Amino acid sequence: MKSKISASQFSERLEYRTRSGNAIYVGPIAFLNLFFNQTTETFYGSFGSGWFELTNNSFNRVPFVIDGTFTTNDAGQTLVDYEIKTNYYGFFWIHGITLLVMALNLPFIFLPDAGPRIIVNIVIISIFVLRYFAIYHKKKELEEDFIEIFEINYN
C-alpha cells in the first residue's frame, strides 16, 4: 500500500498521534493509566525508524495491534506494509472478566425463587456478550482511523 505523505511526514504523524507505551500490554494497570493521563493522541504504542506497533488510545481498548513498516521506494513514495494482529494478552483479560461475571451470575438465574434477579442477570450477561460484537466494530474503526490519518491508498 502507498501513503500520500512522505516517510518523514509519516514519522511526524506517528510521533504526534501516538502515546508512547507497549501496545501489547492492555491489562488493568494500562486501563488505570487512562484515568490519570488524559491525552488527545489517537494511538497507543511504540514506533521507530521504519516500523510501528499501534492500538487505539481509549478506555475501550481493542485487543488488536496494527503492526507494520514503512519505507520510501525509488520514486519517492512511502510504502506502508501493515497487518492487524490479535493481542492475545488483551483477549485474556476480556475473556477472563466475561467468564467470571457469567460464572457469578448463572447460579442466580437458576435459583427456584429467582424472581426479578433473572432479568437483571440476563441483562448483565447480554451486555458482556454484546461486548464481543463491539470489539470487532472497534477493530474496523481502528483500521479506518489509521488509513485516514496516514492517507493510505490500496494502489
Render pLDDT for 131-145 as a digit per residue (tens, 0 to 9): 878 888 889 999 999
Query: Do 122 and 109 contact (CB within 8 A), yes or no?
Result: yes
> How many residues are listed for the chain in this entry?
155
Model confidence at 27, pLDDT cuts 50, 70, 90, reads low
Which candidate, 97, 84, 96, places its Cα nearest to that of 56? 84
pTM of the predicted model as reported, rounded to 2 decimal places: 0.78
Question: Sign of dihedral through CA atoms 13, 143, 1, 91?
Answer: positive
Query: Do 125 and 45 contact (CB within 8 A), yes or no?
Result: no
